Amino acid sequence: MSTRKNKNSGTDGGLDLIDKEKAKKKVKPPSKYQVVYYNDDFTPMNLVVISLINFFHQEPTAAYSIMLHVHKKGKGIAGGPYSKEIADTKAAIVVEFFRSEGYPLLAKAEKVD
């Protein structure tokens, strides 16, 4: 293959075919996701704090603040940012934990804007 530049009317405005291929193959960084807790009226607050400490390695005071935010605002960020696979896995593990305890708390992986 030639790396010679194609020139239009003798100007230096032409693009190399290899440069065009490189531009097409630019890789975007992967999207990041966070795990979001949604409030309900049934899950005990202390169980939410325990889950934040155990699954997201939050400090107790930070876990308490997140729990209050979820309680007052309806939802809150439990952890992240993570890759999609890790966020999905963490959300699934948390939901399974709450269901095993008999509570309906919802946790979802959501894309970071």
- pTM of the complete model: 0.77
**Mean pLDDT along residues 10-23:** 64
Kindly list the distances between the CA atom of residue 16 and the CA atoms of 2, 20, 47, 78, 79, in Å, as whole numbers in the listed order: 9, 7, 61, 48, 45
Q: What domains lie within the chain, and their CATH numbers?
A: 33-111 (3.30.1390.10)
Instruction: Determine if the peptide bond prior to 29 is cis (ω within 30°).
Output: no
Q: With cut-offs at 50, 70 and 90, classify the pLDDT of residue 27.
A: confident
Spell out where 23-91 has E strands. 33-38, 75-82
